[in-house]
Amino acid sequence: MKTKWIANVGGAAVVVLMGLLIGSCATEEAEYQAQGMDELNAGRYRAALVRFGRAIDLNAEYAEPYMGRGYAKLLLGDYRGAARDFERAIKLDPSDAGAHFGLGQTRAALGDYRSATAEFDSRIAADTTYSEAYVARAGVRLARADAAGALQDLDAARGMHKENVVTYIVRGHAHRALSDYESSVAAFDAALGLDAASFDAHFGRAQTHLFFGAHADAIADFDRAIELRPSHAEAYLGRGYARMAVAQYDRAVDDLERAIDLGRDLLAPQRSVGVKVFTDLGQAKAAIGRHEDALNDFDRAIDLRADARTYVSRGYTNLALSRFEDAVSDFDSAARRSGETAEVRVGRGYANLGIGEHDLAFEDFEAAIGLAPDYVMAYVGRGLANEGRGDTSGARLDYASAWELAEGAGDERRVARVAEYLRNTRR
């Protein structure tokens, strides 16, 4: 008999078929074992737990009920309980390849990829033609940032059976990890050719489009993924990032807030994810003038972890609110964490201008230009600082430099802005 199980490994749903052998002896425990298998194959996993449990009660030295119960627990998301059952089955029968395979999938679901790899290695050693083990190991290799190794395993599996939706999806993620845009999209296209309603294929292709800057295509795929799975937090998150990239800030705010509402369990244990999401949400709100709301989001990010990028974003938002001393404090905090970058120097320079510290502002802009000689707003800032220090000719030279850089970059908005500064200094 065969039972289908699904686990999420390396961002793609890995679906395999696992053959479980049932003993032919007509004992009572074997009858419960057979009933457990029937329930498992019918998708009644809790009922399967009961049947396998009764078989174990009758004979605790019989490996197969532990293996069957392990698969039922795996499908119910009880990974630690599944691991205990698979380990018990292996102790009773160390050569049980099915138990090794199940334990590998359980270890992968728990994020213990090294142990998972070892279990899949054992399964492959027992039968080098068992293609599902190669596919599962490919998923784990991908999760361990070994995309090339994942493709090797997928190629080995392809030599044993035809590609399917799952193998194409894993292949798509692996090609993206290797920065091969065309091959990644082609793999997801192939998956969708087999199953046009595959959430994982649409979501994976959207991630590839987003990674390579094809934002309109990314939004279209995230739209379809959300239609298929409306409660998937990461799909809203990805669409929010894509919308930010094309300046759809209002809609990006909606997506990021929806992702936070749906993904609290996901974000809570992963502080780096939470910091990024709240910081990006704050940036989107700041872009549409919701500065006070943005500050609240930056505060939430900093509560999770004091991150330089968040302090910089909060600093620029405080600048927009003319809270110059708070901005100076934020840029100082950012500098303590990431060093005196050009972005930090420029932000603090404008904050110092706001509180009338023209000499300090000049020092910041001077340092920023040394770090980033093409930074238009650093020249504008130094021009303003020079004006404040009474050096009109120096200011005019800085504005002229800013104008040339902006014009060379085709930044019409900044060209117009800098031209106004130039006109003012000529009066």
Q: What is the mean pLDDT of the chain?
A: 88
Q: Give how many domains the chain has, as a whole number.
A: 2
- Where is pLDDT greater, at 426 or 63? 63
Backbone angles phi, psi at 177, to 5 degrees: -60, -25
Residue 70 has pLDDT above 80, yes or no: yes
Q: Specify the pLDDT at position 271.
A: 65
CA distance 120 to 125: 8
DSSP letters spanning 270-310 = -HHHHHHHHHHHHHHHHHTT-HHHHHHHHHHHHHH---HHH
Residue 323 belongs to a domain: no
Domain stops at, among 119, 145, 160: 160
**pLDDT, tens only, 152-174:** 999 999 888 888 999 999 999 99
Q: Specify the pLDDT at position 424.
A: 64
| DSSP-assigned letter for residue 94 | T
Residue 112 belongs to a domain: yes
Which H/E stretch holds residue 85?
helix 79-92
Residue 5 has pLDDT above 70, yes or no: no
Residue 377 belongs to a domain: yes
Residue 409 has pLDDT above 80, yes or no: no
What is the pLDDT averaged over residues 383-406?
91
What is the pLDDT averaged over residues 36-63?
92
Q: Specify the pLDDT at position 273.
A: 81
**pLDDT, tens only, 168-191:** 999 999 999 999 999 999 999 999
- Written as six digits, the tokens of 132 are 């599902």
CA distance 111 to 259: 23
What is the pLDDT averaged over residues 91-104?
90
Which H/E stretch holds residue 12?
strand 12-19
The angle subtended at Cα 382 by Cα 380 and Cα 385, nearest 5°, is 115
Residue 142 belongs to a domain: yes
Residue 414 has pLDDT above 90, yes or no: no
CA distance 8 to 166: 11
Domain stops at, among 160, 189, 212: 160
CB 62 within 8 A of CB 92: yes
Q: Specify the pLDDT at position 268.
A: 61
CA distance 111 to 235: 21
> Residue 403, SS3?
helix
Residue type, position 137, single letter: R
Q: Specify the pLDDT at position 9.
A: 39
Which H/E stretch holds residue 8?
strand 2-9
> Residue 17, SS3?
strand
State the pLDDT confidence band at 211, using cuts at 50, 70 and 90: very high
- Which residues is 13 bridged to in the sheet? 8
What is the pLDDT averaged over residues 387-410?
89
Domain stops at, among 160, 175, 196: 160
Decide: pTM greater than 0.85: no
Helix axes 131-143, 97-109, angle to 10 degrees: 20
Q: Specify the pLDDT at position 419.
A: 60
Residue 273 belongs to a domain: no
Residue 8 has pLDDT above 60, yes or no: no
What is the pLDDT averaged over residues 338-367?
96
Residue 74 has pLDDT above 70, yes or no: yes
CB 177 within 8 A of CB 197: no
What is the pLDDT averaged over residues 284-294?
96
In this structure, what is the dihedral angle of CA atoms 423, 406, 310, 332, given to the nearest 10 degrees? -60
Residue 314 belongs to a domain: no
CA distance 347 to 368: 10
CA distance 179 to 248: 26
Look up the CATH number of the domain holding residue 94. 1.25.40.10
Residue 6 has pLDDT above 70, yes or no: no
Percent of the chain with pLDDT over 90: 72
What is the pLDDT averaged over residues 231-239?
95
CB 168 within 8 A of CB 187: yes
- For residue 183, count other CB atoms closer than 10 A to its CB: 17
Residue 426 has pLDDT above 90, yes or no: no
CA distance 290 to 149: 47
What is the pLDDT averaged over residues 379-406?
92
State the pLDDT confidence band at 25, using cuts at 50, 70 and 90: very low
Displacement of CA 169 from its chain's centroid (Å): 16
CA distance 212 to 160: 33
Query: For the chain, what is the largest distance between any 2 Cα atoms, rounded to a whole number of angstroms?
Result: 104
Sort strands 2-9 and 12-19 into parallel, antiparallel or unpaired. Answer: antiparallel
Domain span holding position 389: 340-427
For 403-408, which contacts have Cβ atoms below 8 Å and span 24 or more sequence positions?
Answer: 405/374, 405/376, 405/379, 406/376
Q: Which residues contact 324 (CB under 8 A, 6 or more apart)?
A: 318, 351, 352, 354, 355
Residue 138 belongs to a domain: yes
Displacement of CA 157 from its chain's centroid (Å): 27
Residue 242 belongs to a domain: no
Displacement of CA 78 from its chain's centroid (Å): 24
For 114-123, 264-273, 367-376, which range has the lowest pLDDT when averaged over its residues? 264-273
Residue 13 has pLDDT above 50, yes or no: no
CA distance 374 to 132: 54
